[in-house]
Amino acid sequence: MHIWSDHERSAESKMAAIEKNTGDGLITGALTPDQVQIFLTTLKEIRPDYEELRNKVIYQERWNSLHVRLDVLGNEINRTVEPTTRIETPMNMDRIPTLQRDIDDGRISGGLPVREEQEFQARLDSIRRDYLMMSEGGRPISCEERVDVSLRLDSLAREMKKYR
């Protein structure tokens, strides 16, 4: 057994970074107050384990376990903040409900023939499904994928304009 002061310092740094990243995320709007609360509650649950290990002679595996928990929390915060820093992604996602409203309005008003309404709805559903599959599990969407979705949304919007 050894005293792992480097582990102690590293854990302190990770906890400070988590607190800073959640605060920055709240300030920039990348994180909601509820998300910040969840992340800080998780950190608060980890902190007693850290306090228990501090200034004691323990096995390295206990420190490793603590560091893994801190890394998982830090990575989760980064994944949550990251998508909102990409401007193109929210723009595509915001366009889908707008086009859905246009299809619904056309159906309700009778200004959109049934056949076209069904075709437009099927295309929008396909785009939505593909977009959600691309971003599944917090995976970043590539530039090519964003462009593809954007072009498909543009094409659908152009064709729908003919019926307004």
Convert the pLDDT of each residue in 57-101 to its tens digit. Answer: 677 788 888 888 888 888 888 887 765 444 444 567 778 888 998
Say if residues 156 and 127 touch (Cβ distance below 8 Å): yes
State the pLDDT at residue 85: 40
Q: What are the domain boundaries of the chain?
A: 5-85, 88-161
Which is nearest to 2 in space by CA: 52, 53, 50, 58? 58
Q: Is 62 exposed, middle or buried (0-12, 13-18, 19+ CB in 10 A)?
A: middle
Phi, psi of 55 (to 5 degrees): 55, 30
State the pLDDT at residue 89: 45
d(CA 58, CA 149) in angstroms, rounded, equals: 53
Q: Is the pLDDT of residue 118 over 90?
A: yes
